Amino acid sequence: MDCKEVGTVLFLFFDNEMEDDLLSPFRDHVARCSHCAQRLAYTRRLLLIVRERCARCCAPERLRMRILTSLPHRGSLPGTH
Ligand SMILES: [Zn+2]
């Protein structure tokens, strides 16, 4: 596997959708190539941030309602448009 192929299959790795016959050359390459190791670390960090943000703004409706209803009632609730 070369750097270009690593780039192509990188997201499969994070989605746990990588085939076993891809996984070992992928790991081998990342272990040997600092460029791809860095890319892997960067992508991991990026995905963590995205997931965290998403969990925050796409909070389940039930939770959002609980937060909103626990607020003192005023003319308009903060955060609603
Ligand atoms: Zn590489």
* Separation of CA 65 and ligand 1 centre (Å): 47
Q: How many A from CA of 58 to the centre of ligand 1?
A: 35
How far, in Å, is the centroid of ligand 1 from the Cα of 53?
29
Q: How many CA atoms, within 13 angstroms, populate the side-chain half-sphere of residue 5?
A: 12
In the chain, where the domains are located: 3-59
Residue 46 is predicted with a pLDDT of 87
Stretch 29-36: mean pLDDT: 97
pLDDT category at 11 given cuts 50, 70, 90 is: confident
CA–centroid distance, residue 30 to ligand 1 (Å): 6
Of all residues in the chain, what percent carry a pLDDT higher than 90?
42
pTM: 0.61
Q: What is the mean pLDDT of residues 53-72?
A: 72
Q: What is the pLDDT of residue 24?
A: 94
What is the distance in A from the centroid of ligand 1 to the CA of 21?
18
The pLDDT value given to residue 77: 56
What is the spatial distance between Cα 48 and Cα 41, in angstroms, rounded to a whole number?
A: 11
Query: What mean pLDDT comes out for the span 49-56?
Result: 78
